[in-house]
Amino acid sequence: METIEQQFKNTPTTQLDKVRVEAFNAFEKLGIPTSRVEAWKYTNIKTKLSKDFILTPLESEVNTAVKNYIASLPPYAFRLVFLNGIFHQELSIIPEIEGLYITNLKEAFANKSSNIEQYFGKAVNYNEEHFAALNTAFVTDGAFIHVSKNVAIEEPIYLHYFFTATDADAFVQTRNLVVVEDGASLQIAEDFRNASNITVQYNHVTESFIGKNAQLTLVKLQVETKNVKGIHSLEALLQRDSTFNASTITFEGNVIRNNITAQLLGENAHADLSGLYFGKENASIDNNILVKHLAPNCTSNQLYKGVMNDESVGSFSGKIFVDQIAQKTNAFQSSKGLLLSNEASINNRPNLEIFADDVKCSHGAAIGQLDENALFYLQARGIPFELAKQLLTYAFVHEVAERIQAKPLRQFICDKLKEELKLNW
């Protein structure tokens, strides 16, 4: 820590360094939140993370688990691979396409590519968000993706983040920066997985800037996360007529926290945020959503579904904020939970803060168990009890997967769900 602190006490020379020093100072004040901090009520993160975590980058030796997984992947057009936050060019596929600029953040910092200074740290609120501050100050590496005006990228870009804990106290800071200029469109899949058998800790931030009439679809996959303590912050700034589609899919998890903030800055912007989470054993999966309607005629939708087994705990906190000027807002929120054991639980916390008078906002929350009548119906056709449960669980969650508009990503998620639920149709 000493040397890094030292580094930040030197006078910053560049705009980037300035942001990082500010973030560092903010983190020094904020620290790691306790459960007394309202937004961290359901995840006592301070007790979950190692007490003396270390931020120095780890070794990044590609192990068999990583190799095998990479080898199993279909021939994607684009792929960036990071291991313990360190970019692996040799495992990545980055074809040159006109109007699309992809590189790793480090490289982008060094070259000041595509005006990165204009964007880095501008979507996250590092003055108030503990982990955004920490990440902004100490980020190791990540992807930088910039799509030029009116360029439509048809193939999704897959960003693979692998973690192997070579030190149990390591706390890896990764980050993506995505810029979709006016009229452009892009699909991204972020895939996070533990490639070791021991616990890993990471803190990931994705900042995204969506220009006028632009579209961004982002699917976040948190799989193979049994021993993962992962904190995610996804920040999106939407200009007028733009669309942001984000889906967060979490399997298992030890401690998983997802913060998502979408700010609708221009008229007629649309944010669609959905999530699916499957908890097992003593997992804690906490989704914290904030949609800010800051302009008129915008729409937003939140749809979250959780399936909790064993003693797992799921949480959903969703806030819709409607500014005084954001008339004709349409904002919806739905959070549903399915409890597969008596010890599992889900906390649902909807929150509406509305300052405009001509808006349509609604929220709905429901938590239940599998319908006995439906189970019996399936069994009465010869379907074994376990399979009947899996089918109904799939039926419960499929709605979220169906919401993903980008077909390759939707297919990808549906396949993952079937794999997870051991369904082979």
Partner 1 sequence: MLSIKNLDVRVEQKEILKGFNLQINPGEIHAIMGPNGTGKSTLASVLAGKNEYEVTGGEISYLGKDLLEMSPDERAREGVFLAFQYPVEIPGVSTTNFMKAAVNAKRKHLGLDPMDAKTFLQLLNEKRAIVELSREFTSRSLNEGFSGGEKKRNEIFQMAMLEPKLAILDETDSGLDIDALRIVANGVNQLRNKDNAFLVITHYQRLLNYIVPDFVHVMYGGRIVKSGGKELALQLEERGYDWIKEEVASLA
- Tell me which residues touch partner 1 (CB under 8 A): 371, 373-374, 376-385, 387-388, 391-392, 394-399, 425
Least spacing, CB of residue 74 vs partner 1, in Å: 21
Nearer to partner 1, 98 or 372 (CB): 372
End-to-end CA distance of the chain: 51
Cα 295 from Cα 93, distance rounded (Å): 39
Using an 8 Å Cβ cutoff, are 262 and 238 in contact? Answer: yes
**Which residue's CB is nearer to partner 1, number 61 or number 371?**
371
- Closest to partner 1 by CB, 324 vs 411, is 411
- What is the secondary structure of 151-184 as a DSSP string? -B--SPEEEEEEE--SSTTB-EEEEEEEEE-TT-
Q: Minimum CB separation from partner 1 for residue 392, in Å?
A: 7
Nearest approach in angstroms of CB 400 to partner 1 is: 10
Cβ 163 vs Cβ 195: under 8 Å: yes
CB 370 within 8 A of CB 393: yes
Residue 65 or residue 423: which is nearer to partner 1 going by CB? Answer: 423
Question: Can you tell me whether residue 262 is helix, strand or coil?
Answer: strand
User: How, if at all, do strands 100-104 and 157-163 pair?
Assistant: unpaired
Cα-based torsion angle of the residue sequence 302, 303, 307, 311 in order, rounded to the nearest 10 degrees: 20
- Would you say 355 or 377 has its CB closer to partner 1? 377
Nearest distance from residue 116's CB to partner 1, in Å? Answer: 43
> Shortest distance, CB of residue 376 to partner 1, whole angstroms?
6
Residue 374 CB, nearest approach to partner 1 (Å): 5
Q: Sheet containing 255-264: which strands, arranged edge to edge? A: 100-104, 143-147, 172-180, 200-210, 228-238, 255-264, 284-293, 313-322, 345-354
- CA separation for the pair 304, 278 (Å, rounded): 11
Task: Name the residue nearer to partner 1 (CB basis): 351 or 379.
Answer: 379
User: Closest distance between partner 1 and the C-beta of residue 425, in Å?
Assistant: 5
Query: 210 burial class (0-12, 13-18, 19+ CB within 10 angstroms)?
Result: buried
